[in-house]
């Protein structure tokens, strides 16, 4: 059996390795699929569902769905973007996101995703949950009000920092990020140099005394939508006619399993 599969993504032919996810294949081909919890280089998590695509008509999270030979995948459609807008709106009303006073504003992926999807105001009622701020660490702040439970810090701390500083406690609406039970950040192994801090897409994990250093106008998403440069960096599908192959970039060492 060949270790390569081919599928159609919004009319473009995409080649992938068998076992590769639709998300990874799309990233290699330079096609942007909106995402919050997925980061290339981390194990897929599949919690935010913003990357929901339709595979042969069925909704799937692209970050955890393996590419299937001959599949037809829809990504950038009005219907899917409306679902994504709904998901992002629910993330906003489910937490306490005050962009106007947040240090992450302008560099926040949740905010940027809402901009990209054209959210002017959530349509659901705000839940205003009671959440803590852990400012015990001299150099790091953990603000649960802004956390969207993407597990990027959990995975980065575990897999890249080799520390396992963060984990989840409780379930459902009570679910939240925690360091060891009963332990505050200052008593954990967390360090200001941890890559886990950079992994946070929102303003939940911040280095202290770093906020507002970049003026409005110079921040990541002030002028360009999130995902706008993904295609450029890796060969945009622009100009690729229907059926034209978008060869995946060479990926040494990536074998079909």
Coil, helix or strand at residue 125: coil
Structure-token pair, residue 9: 């993504």
Closest CA to 127 of 171, 98, 90, 93: 93
- Residue 173 is a binding residue for another protein (CB under 8 A): no
Are the C-beta atoms of 44 and 64 separated by less than 8 Å?
yes
Residues 6+ positions from 232 with CB-CB distance below 8 Å: 30
Residue closer to another protein by CB (options 224, 247) is 224
**Secondary element (H or E) of residue 231:** helix 230-234
- Site membership for another protein, residue 179 (CB under 8 A): no
Q: Could you tell me the smallest distance in angstroms from the CB atom of residue 237 to another protein? A: 21
Calpha distance 227→91 (Å, rounded) = 19
- Does the footprint of another protein cover residue 202 (CB under 8 A)? no
**Of residues 123 and 251, the one with the C-beta less far from another protein:** 123
Tell which one of 1, 70, 121, 215 touches another protein (CB under 8 A): 121
Q: Which stretch binds another protein (CB under 8 A): 45-53, 147-155, 188-196, 216-224?
A: 216-224
Q: How many CB atoms are closer than 10 A to CB 54?
A: 18
Give me the 130-169 binding string for another protein, x by CB under 8 A, dash otherwise: xx--------------------------------------
Q: Binding another protein by CB under 8 A: which of 56, 98, 138, 229? A: 98
155 three-class SS: helix
For the bound state, the minimum distance from the C-beta of residue 115 to another protein, rounded and expressed in Å, comes to 6
Pick the binder of another protein from 101, 213, 241, 257 (CB under 8 A).
101
- With binding defined as CB under 8 A, does residue 89 bind another protein? no
Give the nearer residue to another protein in terms of CB position, either 64 or 119. 119
Q: What phi and psi values does residue 109 have, to the nearest 5 degrees?
A: -75, -30
User: Is the Cβ–Cβ distance between 4 and 23 less than 8 Å?
Assistant: no
* Of the candidate residues 16, 42, 80, 114, the single one contacting another protein (CB under 8 A): 114
Q: How far apart are CA 52 and CA 60, in angstroms?
A: 5
Q: How far is the CB of 90 from another protein (least distance, A)?
A: 14
For the bound state, the minimum distance from the C-beta of residue 109 to another protein, rounded and expressed in Å, comes to: 13
Residue 111 sits in the site that holds another protein (CB under 8 A):
yes
**Measured CA distances, 11 to 71, 192, 230, 240 (Å):** 11, 45, 18, 10
Structure tokens at 65: 């769905």
Binding stretches for another protein (CB under 8 A): 92, 96, 98-102, 105-106, 111, 114-115, 118, 120-123, 125-126, 128-131, 216, 222-225
């Amino acid at each position: 059996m060949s270790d390569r599969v081919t599928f159609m993504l919004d009319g473009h032919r995409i080649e992938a390795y068998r076992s590769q996810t639709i998300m990874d294949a799309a990233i290699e081909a330079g096609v942007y699929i909106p995402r919050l919890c997925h980061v290339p280089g981390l194990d897929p998590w599949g919690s935010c569902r913003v990357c929901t695509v339709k595979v042969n008509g069925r909704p799937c999270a692209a970050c955890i769905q393996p590419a299937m030979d001959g599949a037809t995948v829809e990504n950038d459609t009005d219907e899917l973007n409306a679902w994504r807008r709904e998901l992002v709106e629910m993330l906003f009303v489910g937490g306490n996101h005050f962009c106007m006073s947040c240090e992450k504003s302008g560099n926040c992926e949740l905010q940027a995703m809402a901009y990209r999807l054209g959210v002017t105001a959530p349509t659901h009622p705000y839940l205003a949950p009671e959440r803590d701020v852990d400012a015990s660490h001299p150099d790091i702040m953990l603000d649960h009000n802004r956390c969207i439970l993407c597990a990027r810090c959990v995975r980065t701390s575990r897999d890249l920092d080799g520390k396992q500083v963060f984990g989840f406690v409780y379930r459902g609406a009570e679910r939240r990020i925690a360091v060891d039970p009963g332990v505050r950040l200052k008593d954990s192994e967390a360090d200001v140099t941890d890559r886990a801090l950079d992994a946070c897409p929102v303003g939940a994990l911040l280095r202290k005394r770093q906020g507002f250093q970049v003026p409005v106008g110079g921040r990541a998403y002030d002028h360009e939508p999130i995902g706008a440069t993904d295609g450029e960096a890796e060969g945009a599908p622009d100009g690729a006619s229907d059926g034209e192959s978008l060869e995946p970039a060479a990926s040494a060492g990536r074998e079909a399993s």
